[in-house]
Amino acid sequence: MAPVLEDHSNNPIRGVPLRLREQHWQRLEAIARTVNRSRNDIIEQMLTWAEEQWHREQPQEKRDSYQQHLEDVKKEAVHAAPAPSRPRSSKRKS
């Protein structure tokens, strides 16, 4: 399988993160094949586990602040919904 990102420079500072990303991608592929699930399912599960771990480790006031932040973001998303756009004309101008 071709790497996700290729480093065409000889810059070791840039090359190391790219190699690490490729290793992480390969590990994710191996996990997905082992459990016979898609990469996206594996990523979602890992994010869920990380969030659960974070909730267990944080004090209550920090969790409450996080929940308030999520609610505020949802409200902003509803109010900032894009206006419907005009339908495009099927005629092309020449």
pLDDT digits (tens, 9 = 90+) for 3-52: 445 555 666 555 666 677 788 888 889 999 999 999 889 889 999 999 89
For residue 93, name the pLDDT band (cuts at 50, 70, 90): low
pLDDT of residue 80: 65
Nearest-CA neighbor of 20 among 1, 4, 33?
Answer: 4
pLDDT of the residue at 30? 92
pLDDT classification of 92: cutoffs 50, 70, 90: low
**Coil, strand or helix: which one is 93?**
coil
For 58-90, write each residue's pLDDT tens digit: 899 999 998 999 899 888 877 766 666 776 666
- Are 14 and 7 in contact by the 8 Å Cβ rule? The answer is yes
Q: Is 74 exposed, middle or buried (0-12, 13-18, 19+ CB in 10 A)?
A: exposed
What radius of gyration do the chain's Cα atoms show? 22
